[in-house]
Amino acid sequence: MTVEAVTPVQFTNWEKPMNILIILAHPDDPEFFMGGTISMWSKLGHKVSYLLLTKGERGLSEEFSDGDALKEVRQIEQRNAAKLLGVSEVDFLDYPDGFLEVNLENRRNLVAEIRKRQPDIVVSSDPQTYFHTHYINHPDHRLAGLLTMEAVFPAAGNRGFYPEQLEQGLAPTKIRELWMSLTVDPNITLDVSDYWQIRIEALKKHVSQIGDPGVFEQVWNQRRQEATASDSLYYEHFRRVILRV
């Protein structure tokens, strides 16, 4: 099987503004996985919204040791970060952080959420287990991606799935594309170098998770320098599946 060559592109060839729904597991996942792309899409006039499946109560630290209180903190942090990137809406489900499940009930619920929003583009995370040689993908990241894939196809657009939702006014949605972030098997790579700093500024809103924002920025700028020694550009990578033209 021939795989499309991965080349840096500035993705602007959608013929009209898109309604883009990002479905991920935790607060801060959007900014870490694809903050530059989110900012770019917003600037290009696309409507970007988040649906986060948990409220991140297990992102505990010495300073934030109460899970119930942390839920509230992380929702505020996420909305502040999203606002910087031009995101129009941020919604949270309340599945337990660290114990996300792919099951028929959760699929039905996610199909309803997708139908409610009628997105053109859905973005989630690749349900792979390993990420290069130094990272085991968090179970919630993997399962958020798998649950999203199973909700998007074939259920969300097929009237035969969950007809009771149609009676509730939730019509099938014709999703054009599914994008999977945090992938080791990309087929599209975006040059979002111009959005590096706004991504960092958005991530700095997640104080409960990153600690001192100044130190965090210094560390990530150093990581970028080390990772881009032969190329000063910053890229974000995706597996893009075109479901309909």
Q: Give the domain ranges of the chain.
A: 8-242
Q: Which residue has the tokens 């337990």?
A: 96
What pLDDT is stored for residue 6 in this prediction? 45
Residue range 229-245, pLDDT digits in tens: 667 789 999 999 999 87
What pLDDT is stored for residue 62 in this prediction? 85
What's the whole-model pTM score?
A: 0.93
What pLDDT is stored for residue 225 in this prediction? 82
Beta strands in the chain (DSSP E): 8-9, 19-24, 47-54, 89-95, 121-125, 130-131, 135-136, 177-181, 188-191, 235-242
Q: What is the radius of gyration, based on Cα positions, of the chain?
A: 18
Please check whether the domain covering 8-242 is classified as CATH 3.40.50.10320: yes
CB 102 within 8 A of CB 146: yes
Q: Give CA angle at 76 (52, 79), nearest 5°.
A: 60
Stretches in the chain below the pLDDT threshold 70: 1-13, 228-230
Nearest alpha carbon to residue 31 among 163, 240, 202:
202
